[in-house]
């Protein structure tokens, strides 16, 4: 008896292909009857496949259009995940709004189960026109945040620029701001962040190094700002400023309560209608049992997750065998099939 084989087409940037599409993953998936096939982004998607499922981390209107057309021509295909759902993660305000949305529900649930740990997001504001802030006094008047603060580009589109942050110690630091920025209160968190990887219903929490705490005393001696980027991915050599990237022992840091992490993960997954994401959490050391979500990333670096091959293969299998189907049911609606006037469902490209 031959068992049915499935095909998953993947559309990823080269960097992502290199890290994610490793032989160990391809082989394990193959053993389970799933072929991972590279989509040629130079050619129309409708002329490729057919794929049972499309996995992607590409953006832009042209790509959305291609996915829409693909679903019109292949109505039984599954797209992981829908661009409209991913979109909210490209803005650091809408990204964290979802945490506040799930907070109410989860607070009630936690109350019932007598959990004491709470979660939320740091205090933050958005500045659309930083040039208007050049006058330091103007900043002082409207200040609702306490120094130090972190300035993060409002747009989180995966570009190197969108990861460039400023740690601001005093109002002079605002002079460096140029594009629309989210200004967030820096929360002392013991120099450790928790990265929570979500793959459908699977949740894995790992520890990573972060920025060290800034005491009132330390802050007193600091003016202006310090720029940094992707601190949790930094190598030792890159942590060359000893004032900030001092040595930390990750081993010593206690993990957050897993029940809380699972609660947040499932709340986010359902509210965002996304299957593949991770989020960064810090523990407010001043409060102790308060956790703050600071970042949510679509389709993050899963290859850094121990045993990622089997986690991903199990997820693909569930999706293809429709165990995850309920969450994909409304795909036509969320893809907003505006292009009903579809004349071009050709087969594979003819040469
Ligand atoms: O490349 P990696 O493995 O460091 O993964 C990046 C993620 O690192 P993480 O898994 O959270 O440690 C990274 O997470 P952070 O934003 O650094 O927390 C992003 O998800 C990044 O994608 P993008 O640049 O935002 O599109 C991810 O980059 P891409 O792999 O998507 O390019
Ligand atoms: N509010 C905050 N308080 C303390 N540290 C923070 C805060 N926000 C971000 N960080 C630190 O800055 C790093 C980068 O910020 P993040 O929002 O995760 O941006 P990115 O999308 O580039 O990962 C975090 O991993 C953490 O080390
Ligand atoms: Mg992050
Ligand atoms: Mg991020």
ipTM: 0.96
Q: Return the higher-pLDDT residue of 121 and 129.
A: 121
User: Which ligand 1 atom lies nearest to the CA of residue 278?
Assistant: 11
Whole-number Å distance, alpha carbon 201 to ligand 4 midpoint, is 21
Pocket lined around ligand 2, Cβ cut-off 6 Å: 122, 150, 152, 156, 163, 165, 184, 186-187, 189, 193, 210-211, 230-232, 280, 282, 294-295
Average pLDDT value over all residues in the chain: 86
pLDDT of residue 290 exceeding 90: yes
Which of 100-114, 202-216, 297-311, 337-351 shows the lowest mean pLDDT across its residues? 337-351
Contact 285, 188 (CB under 8 A): yes
Nearest CA to ligand 1 atom 16: 297
The stretch 132-143 carries a mean pLDDT of 57
> What pLDDT, on the 0 to 100 scale, is given for residue 230?
74
Q: Return the higher-pLDDT residue of 349 and 323.
A: 323
346 — pLDDT class (breaks 50, 70, 90): very low
pTM for the full predicted model: 0.90
Q: Return the higher-pLDDT residue of 220 and 17.
A: 17
Nearest CA to ligand 2 atom 27: 210
Which of 5-9, 244-248, 341-345 shows the lowest mean pLDDT across its residues? 341-345
Whole-number Å distance, alpha carbon 173 to ligand 4 midpoint, is 22
pLDDT of residue 98 exceeding 90: yes
**Environment of ion ligand 4 (residues, CB < 5 A):** 295, 297
Whole-number Å distance, alpha carbon 232 to ligand 3 midpoint, is 8
Q: Return the higher-pLDDT residue of 287 and 349.
A: 287
pLDDT of residue 281 exceeding 90: yes
Pocket lined around ligand 1, Cβ cut-off 6 Å: 15-16, 19, 57, 158, 195, 230, 232-233, 278, 280, 295, 297, 300-301, 304
> What pLDDT, on the 0 to 100 scale, is given for residue 340?
31
The stretch 140-159 carries a mean pLDDT of 86
């Amino acid at each position: 008896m031959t068992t049915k084989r499935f095909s998953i087409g993947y559309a990823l940037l080269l960097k992502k292909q290199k890290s994610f599409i490793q032989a160990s993953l391809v082989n394990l998936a193959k053993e389970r009857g799933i072929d991972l096939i590279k989509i040629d982004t130079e050619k129309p998607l409708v002329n490729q496949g057919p794929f049972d499922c499309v996995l992607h981390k590409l953006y832009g209107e042209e790509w959305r259009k291609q996915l829409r057309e693909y679903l019109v021509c292949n109505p039984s295909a599954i797209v992981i995940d829908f661009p409209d759902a991913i979109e909210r993660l490209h803005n650091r305000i809408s990204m964290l709004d979802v945490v506040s949305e799930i907070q109410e529900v989860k607070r009630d649930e936690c109350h019932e189960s007598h959990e004491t740990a709470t979660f939320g997001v740091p205090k933050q504001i958005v500045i659309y026109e930083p040039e208007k802030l050049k006058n330091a006094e103007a900043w002082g008047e409207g200040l609702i945040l306490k120094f130090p603060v972190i300035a993060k580009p409002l747009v989180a589109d995966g570009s190197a620029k969108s990861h460039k942050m400023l740690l601001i110690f005093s109002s002079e630091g605002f002079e460096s701001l140029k594009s629309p920025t989210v200004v967030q209160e820096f929360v002392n968190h013991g120099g450790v962040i928790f990265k929570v990887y979500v793959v459908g219903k699977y949740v894995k929490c790992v520890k990573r190094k972060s920025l060290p705490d800034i005491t009132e005393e330390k802050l007193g001696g600091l003016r202006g700002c310090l720029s940094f980027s992707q601190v949790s991915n930094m190598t030792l050599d890159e942590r060359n400023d000893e004032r900030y990237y001092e040595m930390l022992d990750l081993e010593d840091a206690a993990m957050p309560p897993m029940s809380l992490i699972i609660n947040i993960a499932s709340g986010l997954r359902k509210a965002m209608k996304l299957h593949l994401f991770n989020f960064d959490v810090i523990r407010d050391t001043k409060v102790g049992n308060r956790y703050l979500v600071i970042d949510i990333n679509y389709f993050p670096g899963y290859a850094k997750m121990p045993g990622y091959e089997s986690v991903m293969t199990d997820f693909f299998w569930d999706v293809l065998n429709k165990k995850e189907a309920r969450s994909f049911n409304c795909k036509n609606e969320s893809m907003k099939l505006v292009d009903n006037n579809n004349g071009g469902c050709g087969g594979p490209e003819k040469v």
